[in-house]
Amino acid sequence: MSDVLIRKVRRAGRITLSRPAALNALTCAMVQEIDAALRGWIGDPEVELVVIDAEGPRAFCAGGDIAELHGRGVAGDHAFGQDFWRVEYRMNDRIAAFPKPIVSLMQGFTMGGGVGLGCHARHRIVGETSQISMPECAIGLVPDVGGTHLLARAPGRIGVWLGLTGARMGPGDAIFAGFADRFVPEADWPDLIAALEGGDLALPDHAAPEGRLPVLQDEIDRLFAGTLAEIPARLEATDTPLAAEALKALRRSSPLALAATLEILQRLGPSAGIREALDLEYRFTYRAQGQADFLEGIRAAIIDKDRSPRWRHGDPEAVRPEEVASLLAPLGPQALTFEEESK
Does the annotation mark 297 as catalytic? no
Would you say 279 and 144 are in contact if contact means Cβ atoms under 8 Å apart?
Answer: no
Who contacts 237 (Cβ-Cβ below 8 Å, separation ≥6)? Answer: none
pLDDT tens figures, 209-228? 999 999 999 999 999 999 99
pLDDT attached to residue 343:
42
DSSP 146-163: THHHHHHHSSTTHHHHHH
Active-site residue, selected from the candidate residues 13, 63, 64, 146: 64
pLDDT attached to residue 178:
98
pLDDT attached to residue 128:
98
Give the confidence band of 342 by pLDDT, cuts at 50, 70, 90: very low
Active-site residue, selected from the candidate residues 144, 181, 276, 296: 144
Give the confidence band of 68 by pLDDT, cuts at 50, 70, 90: confident
Query: Is pLDDT at 268 greater than 50 in this prediction?
Result: yes
Does the annotation mark 181 as catalytic? no
Quickly count: other Cβ atoms within 10 Å of residue 251's Cβ: 12
Does the annotation mark 136 as catalytic? yes
Q: Spell out the domain ranges in the chain.
A: 4-342
Mean per-residue pLDDT of the chain: 96
Average of per-residue pLDDT across 55-65? 94
pLDDT attached to residue 255:
98
**CA distances (Å), 254 to each of 62, 136, 207, 219, in order?**
20, 9, 37, 24
Query: Is pLDDT at 58 greater than 90 in this prediction?
Result: yes
pLDDT tens figures, 21-54? 999 999 999 999 999 999 999 999 999 999 999 9
pLDDT tens figures, 121-155? 999 999 999 999 999 999 999 999 999 999 999 99
Does the annotation mark 304 as catalytic? no
Query: Is pLDDT at 4 greater than 90 in this prediction?
Result: yes
Give the confidence band of 340 by pLDDT, cuts at 50, 70, 90: low
Who contacts 339 (Cβ-Cβ below 8 Å, separation ≥6)? Answer: none
Reported pTM: 0.96
Pairing of strands 4-9, 109-111: unpaired
pLDDT attached to residue 66:
84
pLDDT tens figures, 80-101? 999 999 999 999 999 999 999 9
Return d(Cα 125, Cα 51) in angstroms, integer. 11
Return d(Cα 170, Cα 181) in angstroms, integer. 13
Return d(Cα 99, Cα 108) in angstroms, integer. 28
pLDDT attached to residue 1:
64
Active-site residue, selected from the candidate residues 48, 136, 173, 263: 136
In the DSSP assignment, the letter for residue 25 is P
% of the chain residues with pLDDT over 90: 92
Q: Give strand pairing partners of 61.
A: 110
The class that CATH gives domain 4-342 is alpha beta
